[in-house]
Structure 1
Amino acid sequence: MSTAVRQHVPDPRTATEAALADGLTAGDAACLTEVYRRWSPLVHRLARRALGDTCDAEDVVQQVFLAAWRGRLGYRPELGTAAAWLTGITRRRIADALAARARRAALFDLATAGYTVDVVSTDSVLDKMVVTQELAKLPAPQRTVLCLAFYEDLTQPQIAERTGWPLGTVKSHARRGMQRLSFRLGLVRVRH
Structure 2
Amino acid sequence: MTDVERTDWNEIVDSHAQRVLRIARRILGSIEDAEDISQEVFSEAYRMHLSGKKPVRTWEALLVRLATLRSLDSLRKNRPMSEFQVSDCISTVQPSDEVVAIELAQWLRGAIAQLPDQQAAVFVMSCFEQFSREEVSGILGISTDAVSTSLYKARQRLSTELTFFYHGDVK
User: Normalising to structure 1: TM-score of the pair?
Assistant: 0.37
Which structure would you say has the larger Rg? 1
Q: Could you say which structure has the greater relative contact order, defined with CA pairs below 8 angstroms and 6 or more residues apart? A: 2
TM-score w.r.t. structure 2 length? 0.41
